[in-house]
Amino acid sequence: MQRLLPHPLLTIILAIIWLLLSNSIALGQAALGLLLGWAIPFFALQFWPDKLKVHKPLTLLKFSYILLHDIVEANFIVALRILGKPEKLRPAFIVVPIDLNSDFGMSILANTSCLTPGSLSALLAPDRKSILMHAMDVEDVDAFIHTVKTRYEKPLKEIFEE
Amino acid sequence: MNIVLEVLLSVLIVTGALFTFIGSLGLARLRDFYTRLHGPTKGTTLGVGCLLIASSIFFSSQGDGLSLHEVLITLFLFITAPISAHLLAKSALHLKVESLVPLPDEAIARKNSQHKPYQTLD
């Protein structure tokens, strides 16, 4: 099973992407999508040595909702800051310690932090224990770290690692 | 196409254009390289999002069935924007590009130049 179908989840996602690309839901396209979704993971296997498992689909759904909400909010906040007084911004580099162990979890966290208000991931420490982030306007560094950890890291850890 | 739909599409397109513009304006208004990265990565996601929703609604209303491949553009944007920002920030740190605030611990940067490939997120 493991050898015949290395990444079942990836197969489904790729099939859906194929359907979206071809912009149709014809049976033929679905079959082709599944075929591609089955074949591509074999070539990409080296990039995905870990098995990807979603432990709590509901948390994932909730996380996606929070993320979407934050992305919209981030757009407004950043727009206001650009239109406001850029001299008054207090940018900072912040080292955020992370507890995630999986590559995928870390990638998502770094990716998320970039889409959400005021932060940008800049560097992953070589020991993989912290991510260096750049914040656009930060008042309280500890509060910033706390937000990242509780709002994004905790659900990610629940979804991909527990 | 009825008037309600036309108004809705116009509003979406104008909002989208506005956000994209503000995001790009950030490049001119913000004051150092690192803060400038924030404008185009965040300010534009909603902008492009609005334009794509408008496109999706327009083509769906043309009678050729639902048009959803715009969703993919959004998805790719969400994946690529943070990665390019991450890489830009990383190379800027490596080159010690000037910043309004003190650059983070030099040690991180030095260690980073010695580490093996494929150890970092990118």
pLDDT of residue A104: 79
Query: B10 falls in which pLDDT band (50, 70, 90)?
Result: very high
Q: How many CB atoms lie within 10 A of CB B91?
A: 11
Mean pLDDT of chain B: 78
pLDDT of residue B12: 93
| pLDDT of residue A123 exceeding 70 | yes
Beta carbons of A20 and B69 less than 8 Å apart: yes
The sheet carrying A119-124 orders its strands as A92-97, A130-135, A119-124
Q: Using CA atoms, how far apart are residues A72 and A118, in angstroms rounded to an integer?
A: 12
Beta carbons of B68 and A21 less than 8 Å apart: no
Q: Classify residue B71: in a domain, yes or no.
A: yes
Number of domains within chain B: 1
Contact A75, B43 (CB under 8 A): yes
Which residue's structure tokens are 């560094």?
Answer: A141
Beta carbons of B104 and A72 less than 8 Å apart: no
Q: Using CA atoms, how far apart are residues A81 and A137, in angstroms rounded to an integer?
A: 9
pLDDT of residue B118: 40
Q: What is the pLDDT of residues B49-69, one digit of tens each?
A: 889 889 888 888 887 677 777
**Per-position b or e across B94-109, b if 16+ CB within 10 A of its CB:** eeeeebbeeebeeebb
Q: Which amino acid, residue A31?
A: A
pLDDT of residue A3: 67
Contact B31, B67 (CB under 8 A): no
Q: Using CA atoms, how far apart are residues A104 and A129, in angstroms rounded to an integer?
A: 14
Q: What is the pLDDT of residues A136-155, one digit of tens each?
A: 888 788 888 888 888 888 88
Q: How many CB atoms lie within 10 A of CB B66?
A: 10
- Is the CB of residue A26 less than 8 Å away from at least one CB of chain B? no
Highest mean pLDDT among A144-148, B5-9, B23-27, B118-122: B5-9
In chain A, where the domains are located: 8-47, 57-160
pLDDT of residue B119: 43
Full-model pTM? 0.77
Chain A residues within 8 A of B90 when measuring between CB atoms: 122-123
Q: Classify residue B120: in a domain, yes or no.
A: no
pLDDT of residue A50: 67
Contact B66, B55 (CB under 8 A): no
Q: What is the pLDDT of residues A76-105, one digit of tens each?
A: 888 888 888 877 788 888 888 888 887 778
Domain range enclosing B15: 3-96
Q: Classify residue B62: in a domain, yes or no.
A: yes
CB-side exposure of A78: number of CA atoms within 13 Å?
A: 39
Q: What is the pLDDT of residues A33-59, one digit of tens each?
A: 888 888 888 887 777 666 677 777 888
- A residues 38-67 near B, CB within 8 Å? none
Nearest residue of B to residue A46 by CA position? B118
Contact B39, B24 (CB under 8 A): yes
Q: How far is B40 from chain A (nearest CA, A)?
A: 10
Lowest model confidence (mean pLDDT) among A3-7, A144-148, B40-44, B47-51: A3-7
In this structure, the dihedral spanned by the alpha carbons of residues A69, A73, A75 and A79, taken in order and rounded to 10 degrees, is 170
Q: Classify residue B117: in a domain, yes or no.
A: no
Q: Using CA atoms, how far apart are residues A122 and A132, in angstroms rounded to an integer?
A: 5
Q: Which amino acid, residue A152?
A: Y
Handedness of CA A98, A90, B80, A69 (dihedral sign): positive
* Greatest pairwise CA separation for chain B in angstroms: 62
Query: B120 falls in which pLDDT band (50, 70, 90)?
Result: very low
Mean pLDDT of A124-131: 79
Q: Classify residue B55: in a domain, yes or no.
A: yes
Q: Classify residue B108: in a domain, yes or no.
A: no
Nearest residue of A to residue B69 by CA position? A20
**Nearest CB to B82: which of A20, A115, A123?**
A115
ipTM (interface predicted TM)? 0.77
Q: How far is B56 from chain A (nearest CA, A)?
A: 11
